[in-house]
Amino acid sequence: MYSYSQFDTDFLATRNAQFRAQVERRIAGNLTEDEFKPLRLMNGLYLQLHAYMLRVAIPYGTLNSRQMRKLAEIGDRWDKGYGHFTTRQNIQFNWPELKDVPDMLDALAEVGMHAIQTSGNTIRNVTADHFAGAAADEIADPRPVAELLRQWSTDHPEFQFMPRKFKIAVTGSPNDRAVTKAHDIGLRMLQRDGQNGYEVIVGGGLGRTPMIGKVINDFLPEADLLPYLEAIVSVWNQIGRRDNKYKARIKITVHEHGIDEIRRLVEDRFVETRKTFTGVDVQMLREIEAHFAAPDFVKKSEAPFKDAYHKDPVFRSWADTNLTAHRAEGYKIVSISLKKHGETPGDATGDQMRLMADLAETYGHDELRISHEQNVILPHVHVSDLPSLHAALQKDGLATANIGLISDIIACPGMDYCALATARSIPIAQEIATAFDDIKREHDIGALKIKISGCINACGHHHVGHIGILGLDRAGVENYQITLGGDHTEAARVGDRVGPGFSADEIVPAVERIVDTYLDLRTDADETFDITYQRTGLAPFKAALYPETKVAAE
Amino acid sequence: MPKTFTPKVVTANHLLKGDVIYQTATGWSRRLDEAEVLTDEADADLRLIEASQQVDVVVGAYLADIALENGIPAPTHFREDFRATGPSNYAHGKQVELG
Ligand code: HEM
Ligand code: SF4
């Protein structure tokens, strides 16, 4: 696993000491909030509705048991005994006090973690497929290049004051689990004629103006990556709109100039940037790759797994939903659901974090991942260990068998925490999960992604949910707008708005009507919601949601 | 026609703890029902300026609408309701801290 160099360690220590001094000056009244705010945001510290919030980066979602235990300790000591894992593969602590934040950052630094570039107009925490280095369908592990990008962008002088924030995601698998088409830059690793390279996608993003990224280069040779990305960022730095915050993201630049024009400008600029790279970057990539070497996979009998699978229906149900094919023989990827019915999506208590850390150490080659779907992954578990692992997870409410199902909902913090929210999202997720758990139908319903955001910033990815829910404030009342048919995979698509929104009381019944409509329409149990929707379109769902308008039209 | 001025309170986040506070006649309180009710626009503007100047105590002071229930201020908008009580997913924040 990658460990930070002495340079990184010193850099972190210096940054933390600086911030400690800034916090002291702020508390003493020697810095105004206007002066302090940009400094705290650079260090991941927000002020939300009820308290400060510290956002900690988990680069490409990868951490080890020591780091997970440290997060548990921080949650216990300075938060209310828990942490919230987010769609950006971060963890957020919702209740720190200002004076404690420097100590929290020092505690994080002990395990090489930090909160830098989780905020501000910088290149943010690079995200990657949470199954990286483990998935059976993977061409190559995307984390080394994500780490290379982190090193290249962290504190890069040209990229500290960009028109707006900039987000990069990487996948090493043709099945995109990193939502690359909804990022400013998405990279898909490819191999062509024995050569490594990338499909480069630019201008995706959600938020106020959702856009699906467009391919700017369908095969960029590996060695050209950094100069090419530098060319993209530099073109955007030059022609991106700084006059209007809402038009500043590269998705708007691409939209306004057209992808062909942007490609031409980037190619021109690339001629220049390329000269400044000497190949050191590729050498660095090779060195980084060595840190991500696969663990020593073992071979042992699979009998305990088969035995439990036949005998124990609860284990079987969990194994059927929460395991994914691994590239090594005898291994599985385990998704631990942080979506127990009725609980807050993405929250884990300190005890749960410690248990997951222990299990990673005992059964999972000491590796954990955070998925953008707000679950925790043990990427490398031998099947023979799964029955014991499952039994341990059951003890602490972590064995919910619902990965990919209707209750595996992404929800942003919404108005329960977020100062920007226009409505709540967490209670809606809790109610939907509980409602479908009560009728025990979610396994019958099958794969279905619900994603909820509490305002148009779309932190909950609602545009790309099969069912997307956006919470709004309509004349002082919470109101929920539904979109259908969004897709977060390589076939990314922004969902279609169904019509007028629903009140907080009406939203769960509305989701139930959508699901009932799907169950009526599907050809058989293998036809998933998204396939049915592609076949039928919006009309039958609209009719089910707004029967009165249909009557009125007749 | 001039807009009629609806009753307001000055509210902000506390610099150190980050939690929601309300201006009283003499200082600050964590309870909305102890807030000073402002019914005169010029007075409200002045009190807001005074609050905003206390940079070592408060962050982001603003005027929030309230309704008077038996003379006691209560939120009119759900956002202010959450600010006055805490999140709805856990019994955390004011709903438990104020007792
Ligand atoms: C609670 C404090 C938060 C604040 C103040 C905040 C603020 C924002 C804002 C203003 C945007 C829009 C950016 C733009 O379009 O330029 C945004 C986007 C986003 N946020 Fe958050 N957010 C918060 C929490 C979260 C959480 C908890 C998550 C993960 C669950 C998250 C994930 C995202 C994602 C994925 C986007 C990307 C949408 C896009 O720009 O394509 N945010 N956030
Ligand atoms: S979508 Fe809106 S409400 Fe939700 S976390 Fe983002 S900014 Fe806050």
End position of a domain, from candidates A261, A291, A321: A291
**What pairs with residue A187 in β-bridges?**
A170, A200
Q: Does residue A453's CB lie within 6 angstroms of at least one atom of ligand 2?
A: yes
pLDDT at position A277 is: 87
Prediction ipTM score: 0.94
Q: How far is CA A240 from CA A203, A245, A255, A457, in A?
A: 12, 10, 11, 20
- Is A16 contained in some domain? yes
Domain match, A168 and A281 both: yes
- Is B64 contained in some domain? yes
Instruction: Report DSSP state, residue A433.
Output: H
Measured from the Cβ of residue B52, the count of other Cβ atoms closer than 10 Å reads 16
pLDDT at position A181 is: 94
- Is A296 contained in some domain? no
Per DSSP, the residues of A58-82 read: -GGGEE-HHHHHHHHHHHHHHSSSE
Q: Does residue A421's CB lie within 6 angstroms of at least one atom of ligand 2?
A: yes
B contacts of A52 (beta carbons < 8 Å)? 18
- Phi, psi dihedral angles at A525 (to 5 degrees): -65, -15
Q: Rounded to 10 degrees, what is the CA torsion of A204, A205, A211, A217?
A: 0
* Atom 37 (ligand 1) nearest CA: A459
Confidence check: pLDDT of B3 > 90? no
- Is B1 contained in some domain? no
- Is B90 contained in some domain? yes
Domain match, A264 and A152 both: yes
The half-sphere exposure of A534 on its side-chain side, counting CA atoms within 13 A, is: 11
- Phi, psi dihedral angles at A291 (to 5 degrees): -70, -20
* pLDDT tens digits for range B26-64: 999 999 999 999 999 999 999 999 999 998 899 999 999
B contacts of A421 (beta carbons < 8 Å)? 79
- Is A118 contained in some domain? no
Over its length of 554 residues, how does chain A's per-residue pLDDT go in tens digits? 456 666 678 888 999 999 999 999 999 989 999 999 999 988 999 999 999 999 998 888 899 999 999 999 999 999 999 999 987 788 999 999 999 999 999 999 999 898 876 556 777 778 899 999 999 999 999 999 999 998 888 767 777 777 788 889 999 999 999 999 999 999 999 999 999 999 999 999 998 899 999 999 999 999 999 999 999 999 998 888 778 877 888 999 999 999 999 999 999 999 999 998 888 888 999 999 999 999 999 999 999 999 999 999 999 999 999 999 999 999 999 999 999 999 999 999 999 999 999 999 999 999 999 998 999 999 999 999 999 999 999 999 999 999 999 999 999 999 999 999 999 999 999 999 999 998 788 999 999 999 999 999 999 999 999 999 999 999 999 999 999 999 999 889 999 999 999 999 999 999 999 999 999 999 999 999 999 999 999 999 999 999 876 544 44
Domain match, A365 and A435 both: no
Measured from the Cβ of residue A554, the count of other Cβ atoms closer than 10 Å reads 5
Domain match, A146 and A286 both: yes
- Is A403 contained in some domain? no
Nearest chain B CA: its distance from A109 CA (Å): 23
- Is B45 contained in some domain? yes
- Does residue A344 belong to the interface with chain B, where contact is any CB pair within 8 Å? yes
pLDDT at position A551 is: 45
pLDDT at position A553 is: 41
- Is B77 contained in some domain? yes
- Is A440 contained in some domain? yes
Measured from the Cβ of residue A351, the count of other Cβ atoms closer than 10 Å reads 16
Residues A346 and A335: their CA atoms lie apart, in Å, by 13
- Is B3 contained in some domain? no
Provide the CATH number for the domain around residue A12. 3.90.480.20
> How many distinct structural domains can be found in chain A?
4
Domain match, A269 and A154 both: yes
pTM of structure: 0.92
Domain match, A231 and A307 both: no
CB A412 within 8 A of CB A453: yes
- Cross-chain residue pair A344–B90, CB shorter than 8 Å: yes
Residues A89 and A104: their CA atoms lie apart, in Å, by 19
pLDDT at position A472 is: 98
Residue owning tokens 């929210």: A421
| Closest approach atom of ligand 2 to CA A453 | 1
Q: Does residue A370's CB lie within 6 angstroms of at least one atom of ligand 2?
A: no
Provide the CATH number for the domain around residue A161. 3.30.413.10
Size of interface A-B (CB pairs under 8 A): 73
End position of a domain, from candidates A291, A321, A355: A291
pLDDT at position A550 is: 52
Domain match, A243 and A347 both: no
A402: which 2 tokens? 């619902």
**What pairs with residue A62 in β-bridges?**
A369
Strands (E), A231-327: 323-325
Nearest chain A CA: its distance from B71 CA (Å): 23
Where in the sequence is the domain holding A188, given as residue range(s)?
A: 142-291
Where in the sequence is the domain holding B76, given as residue range(s)?
A: 8-97
Residues A140, A142, A148, A152, CA torsion sign = positive
* Atom 17 (ligand 1) nearest CA: A457
pLDDT at position A117 is: 61
Q: Which long-range contacts (CB under 8 A, 24 or more apart) does A252-256 make?
A: A252/A209, A253/A203, A254/A202, A254/A203, A254/A211, A254/A214, A255/A203, A255/A209, A255/A211
Domain match, A61 and A147 both: no
- Is A129 contained in some domain? no
Domain match, A256 and A160 both: yes
- Is A1 contained in some domain? no
Q: H/E element holding A264? A: helix A259-275
pLDDT > 90: percent of chain B: 87
> How many distinct structural domains can be found in chain B?
1
